[in-house]
């Protein structure tokens, strides 16, 4: 918890209140505001067919990837082949390359998972490295995969969910791999149900663990340095949407 405190001392003035270029992926068309001024540097928004990414040229990773999950888009998909690829829309010195993952000991972890994407072309786009972070293998293949599947299960029940999946860089020092691509310390998934008008967050350490936590948006904001829903009241952010227990199969 000591690590979290360090980032909690961020300014509460919104420094990134610029209009989003991908409003279609956010609640009321409002993207999260970055409150930490160090985090605003070299950020670029990238819009795709089914998700929007806020990318950092400092960490050379996505900060988050946002999508709207609709029940009707979550039918079983046929087997397919995809190709991990570098994001040519990002400057070379701000992006990760495939070579940054070789011999890294880490998986290429999707923020917006390919199984959420509604069409083959949208699925293919999730393999851009702008949507990928260095993720622990045990986590990626284990509880994180179950969290992704629990989220789809909830979307089928609720009909529609707003989802923001992101990476947090905590503590005084962070791991760097390849050509200085930073490794997230934690990964989170913010989920908002318009039907219940409540949100909650799954949070995991980027480590070989089966543990996860469910917290409120308000608690996540305390150490993320991001205002996830600029128009939402503090009371609403403090409520916790009932999230399913992650299981291998839902």
Partner 1 sequence: MKKNTDLTIKPFQNETECITIGDFTIENRLLHVSFFGSLDITKDKKGLENALILKGVLDSIVEDMERQELPDMIDQNYDQKTVPNPFIKTI
Q: What does the binding site for partner 1 look like in residue numbers (CB under 8 A)? A: 6-7, 9-10, 36, 38-39, 58-59, 76-85, 98-99, 101-105, 107-108, 114-115, 120, 127, 137, 140-141, 145, 149, 169-177, 180, 182, 225, 248-249
Contacts of 60 (CB under 8 A, 6+ apart): 94, 95, 96, 100, 179, 180, 181, 182
Rounded Cα–Cα distance for residues 29 and 27 (Å): 5
Strand locations in 194-236 (E): 198-205, 213-215, 226-227
Quick one: 101 or 212, whose CB is closer to partner 1?
101
CB of 81 to partner 1, least distance (A): 5
CB of 195 to partner 1, least distance (A): 26
Quick one: 41 or 211, whose CB is closer to partner 1?
41
Quick one: 32 or 193, whose CB is closer to partner 1?
32
CB of 31 to partner 1, least distance (A): 18
CA max distance for the chain: 47
* H or E segment to which residue 244 belongs: none
Contacts of 143 (CB under 8 A, 6+ apart): 204, 209, 210, 211, 212, 246
CB of 246 to partner 1, least distance (A): 13
∠ CA 180-41-137 to the nearest 5 degrees?
40
With contact defined as beta carbons under 8 Å apart, do 195 and 158 qualify?
yes
Name the residue among 194, 174, 196, 199 with its Cα closest to residue 184.
174
CB of 240 to partner 1, least distance (A): 26
Rounded Cα–Cα distance for residues 239 and 99 (Å): 42
Quick one: 174 or 238, whose CB is closer to partner 1?
174
CB of 200 to partner 1, least distance (A): 23
Quick one: 9 or 235, whose CB is closer to partner 1?
9
Quick one: 36 or 236, whose CB is closer to partner 1?
36
């Amino acid at each position: 918890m000591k690590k979290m405190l360090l980032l909690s001392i961020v300014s509460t003035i919104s420094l990134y209140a610029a209009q989003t270029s991908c409003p279609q992926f956010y609640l009321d068309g409002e993207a999260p505001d970055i409150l930490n001024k160090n985090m605003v540097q070299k950020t670029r928004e990238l819009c795709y067919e089914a998700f929007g990414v806020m990318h950092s040229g400092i960490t050379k990773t996505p900060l988050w990837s946002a999508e709207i999950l609709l029940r009707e888009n979550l039918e079983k998909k046929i087997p397919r082949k995809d190709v991990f690829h570098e994001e040519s829309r990002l400057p070379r010195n701000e992006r990760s390359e495939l070579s940054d993952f070789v011999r890294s000991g880490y998986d290429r972890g999707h923020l917006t998972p390919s199984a959420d994407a509604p069409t083959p072309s949208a699925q293919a786009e999730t393999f851009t490295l702008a949507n990928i972070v260095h993720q622990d293998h045990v986590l990626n293949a284990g509880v994180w995969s179950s969290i992704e599947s629990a989220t789809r299960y909830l979307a089928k029940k609720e009909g529609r969910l707003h989802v923001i999946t992101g990476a947090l860089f905590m503590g005084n020092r962070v791991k760097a791999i390849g050509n200085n691509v930073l490794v997230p310390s934690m990964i989170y998934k913010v989920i908002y149900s318009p039907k219940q008008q409540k949100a909650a967050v799954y949070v995991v350490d980027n480590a070989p663990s089966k543990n996860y936590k469910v917290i409120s948006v308000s608690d996540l904001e305390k150490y993320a340095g991001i205002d996830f829903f600029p128009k939402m009241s503090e009371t609403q952010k403090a409520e916790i949407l009932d999230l399913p227990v992650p299981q291998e199969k839902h």
